[in-house]
Structure 1
Amino acid sequence: MATIKDVAAAAGVSFTTVSHVVNNSRPVSADVRAKVEHAIRQLHYVPSAVARSLKARATATIGLVVPNATNPYFAELARGIEDGCSRNGYCVFFCNSDDDPAKQRNYLRVLQEKRIDGLIVASAGDDAVLAQTLADSHEPLVILDRNIEGLNADLVQIDHEKGGYLATRHLLELGHVRIGCITGPIQTAVSAMRVHGFIRAMTERGIEIPPDAIVESDFSGTGGHRAAAQLFDTIRPTAIFAGNDMMGIGALRAAAERNISVPRDCSIIGFDDIELGRFTYPALSTVGQSVRALGDMAAQTLIERIAGTSSGTPRAPGRRRVVSPRLIVRESTATWAGAAKRDLAA
């Protein structure tokens, strides 16, 4: 690989002159510039980004850490972040922690060594060490989706509790009473808030929730399939609120395996509004917001923070940007057939 000294020798100039041409740091005559640019093309020279960043104290790169790259939600989120960064001249280093706090901390260390200009983190569960690790770093930071307690940083997330409430209220308004809830790991704040929304909607209607009506699993199609199968084999719900769309898709499969027609026999609604949910059969009702737009908002928030840091202004307190979810009704939810009979009996 050619070096700056190789280019200088080929052009017959000093390596500092080559640096001035590459970085436009000082005026260079047209003749000398032409010689240097010709040598660069001939040798396929690529300037060192690390060396340039040391001089400029900026790399135009942003680090992104997500907990599960196989989940379409985080793939769409990453695309929105990339779009927002690219539009502003930033590249993104993408890291997948596999919901492993130790792997997450290692990626953070590596990203900091790369001298990134800023960092976006969707954390892998609750990790007490993570808050301290991020607090000790000096890069502008945005926390995405899952809040990290004890950290003064910008936060961008959807209103998880409201989303759980809207999804459950939709099922109640369709006449359902025997409603099951399948959720991700309940110790995570995201799961807990969505379940709280489910409980709030049910409580408002005066409906008692049996202990076995809420089943904990993981935020995946497999987890949703397993949890929904448990509900179908126990309380036989007429409707299910799934903690995310992948769990909802798994629930659709569990229903089909038992010849339970969706939505005639059981309505199913998810959370997130990932693109895949529009193409299941039946198409999955959900609550959420444009995932790409959420990622773009995170990117814009970070870029604004980077600009404020580089200007030398005192660091302002972290901002909290909570996006309100909306109900998206598709084919997987419908009026419960037994609701009319129940009303007549009453």
Structure 2
Amino acid sequence: MKMRDVAKLANVSPATVSRVIRHPNLVSKETREKVLVVIKELNYQPHMIASQFRTRKTKTILVVIPDIRDPFFSQVLRGIEYTASYYGYKVLLGDTGNNLDKERQFIDFLFQKQVDGIILLTARLDISNLQQISAQFPMVLACEYLDGLEVPTVSIDNVSSARKMTEHLIQLGHIRIAHITGPMDVVLSRDRLRGFQQAMMIHELTIPPAYIQEGNYGLKSGYNQMIKLLALEELPTAVFTFNDEMAMGAIKAIKDYGMKVPDDIAVVGFDNLEISAVFEPGITTIQQPKYEIGEQAMDLLIKLINGVLLSKKKFVLQDELIVRESCGGKVTCVTYK
């Protein structure tokens, strides 16, 4: 089965079939759908090795993820994969397990010409290294970001989001608010801490040093850091955690101490995982447009691969405060988001 057979049956030129396969955005929807129907009927498989030899493209992109176990990234990856498939690309997933050496190993795929571009969902390499790599290869940063790095980035404003969450707790009457951070070598942790501190400062509320505990993303970490807060002589009345998983761990710790959420201590999270709506109590959180982040990151990478010069590098998407039972007050959303 050859490309000209598909072209003959679809009543188009072989060049049009080639564009549908490699650059579908350059073909009208009507023609594209007609060709795709024939490709499916004939079960046509392009000769990818020959194609790579001619175009010097692998039609594969690499996505580097810090921890595949983190449910937050599943929706981001769905957005990336859907958009990649639309443009005729395959996705190679690299899970670093939060290991910097593994991140370097995956980036070597670029130098080995095994992929056409890369989307980083984690960025622990220093800015100078990333800047050098992005000068040679198409690269997009999603979810995380680094100040001063001239690489296309898609994310929310984590400082503003954390400030919004803290403001909500203050408006509910809380003045003793603790924060369980993520790892402080990650920019997102530093930004969410900064937003928390800004809101407390604006309202002239003090933050005892012990009210800030550094965690490590997961349920167990949220549980352990909450135990430390529960050991304090003066307990916080509310706790803002780095993400929803840590919020769940914190709630478990509070319950194990015979206390109630939010009656004794309010707990809020971040990311709006699906389970946050059905967890008991439902978790107040910040909704990130996860799918859209992945979708836009992949769209930007395709532009870079095709040599398009981007006039804008920073893309900040809108977040949303989702209020549920874990913080008390009026519930505005208890459904999946």
Same fold (TM over 0.5): yes
Q: Show the counterpart of 1:284.
A: 283
Deviates more, 1:64-73 or 1:126-135: 126-135
| 2:208 counterpart residue number | 210
Per-residue deviation, residues 165-213 of structure 1 (Å, max 9, x unmatched): 0111111111111111000112321111100100011111111110101
In structure 1, the partner of 2:37 is none
Q: How many residues get paired? A: 297
Residue of structure 2 in register with 1:165 after alignment: 163
Query: 1:102 Cα shift?
Result: 0.7
The structure 1 segments of at least 4 consecutive aligned residues displaced by more than 6 Å after TM superposition are: 18-23
The answer for the alignment partner of 2:227 in structure 1 is 229
Which amino acid in the other structure matches residue 241 of structure 1?
F
Paired residues for 1:60-99 under 5 Å = 60-99=59-98
CA offset digits 1:120-177 (Å, max 9, x no partner): 1112535467425623532x21111222455421001111101110111111111111
Structure 1 counterpart of 2:315, one-letter code: R
- Residues 1:323 and 2:321 are matched in the alignment: no
Aligned partners of 1:110 and 1:22: how far apart in 2?
A: 33
SS of alignment partner, residue 321 of structure 2: strand
C-alpha distance 132-185 of structure 1, shift in aligned 2 (>3 A):
same
The percent of aligned pairs where both chains have the same amino acid is: 32
Letter in 1 for 2:141: I
Distance apart, 1:322 and its partner CA: 1.2
Q: Structure 2: how far apart are the matches of 1:198 and 1:75?
A: 27
Is the alpha carbon distance of 1:166 and 1:100 closer, same or farther for their aligned partners in structure 2, counting shifts above 3 Å? same
Rounded to whole Å, the distance in 1 between the matches of 2:206 and 2:243 is: 23
**CA offsets, 1:247-274, max 9 Å, x none?**
1111111111112211111111111112
Mind listing any 5+ residue stretches in structure 1 that lack a counterpart? 1-6, 8-17, 27-43, 337-346
Instruction: Between 109-118 and 207-216, report the one with greater CA deviation.
Output: 109-118
In 2, distance between residues paired with 1:64 and 1:316? 20
- Provide the TM-score with structure 1 as the length reference: 0.78
Asked if structure 1 preserves the Cα contact closer than 8 Å seen for 2:175 and 2:237, the reply is yes
1:318 shift after superposition:
5.8
| CA separation of 1:45 and 1:162: change in aligned 2, threshold 3 A | closer
Q: 1:197 aligns with which of 195, 198, 217?
A: 195
CA distance in 1 between partners of 2:295 and 2:248 (Å): 26
8 Å CA contact 1:245–1:274 kept in 2: the answer is yes
Q: Do the aligned residues in 1 keep the contact of 2:131 with 2:150 (CA within 8 Å)?
A: no
Structure 2 partner of 1:261:
260
By how many angstroms is 1:298 displaced? 1.4
Please report how far the alpha carbon of residue 114 of structure 1 lies from its aligned counterpart in structure 2 after TM superposition. Answer: 5.0
SS of structure 2 residue aligned to 1:332: helix
Distance 1:297 1:316, change over 3 A: closer
Give yes or no for the alignment of 1:187 onto 2:181: no
Cα RMSD, aligned residues only: 2.7
SS of corresponding position for 1:181: strand
CA deviation string 1:61-91 (max 9, x = no partner):
2211110110111122112211222233322
Whether the 8 Å contact between 1:245 and 1:270 is mirrored in structure 2 is: yes
Give, as a single letter, the amino acid of the residue that structure 2 aligns with 1:272. D
Q: Indicate conservation of the 8 Å contact 1:194/1:243, yes or no.
A: yes
Give the direction of change, closer, same or farther, for the CA distance of 1:77–1:177 in structure 2 (3 Å limit).
same
The 5 A counterparts of 1:19-168 are 24=14, 48-110=47-109, 112-127=111-126, 130-131=129-130, 134-135=133-134, 137-138=136-137, 140-148=138-146, 151-168=149-166
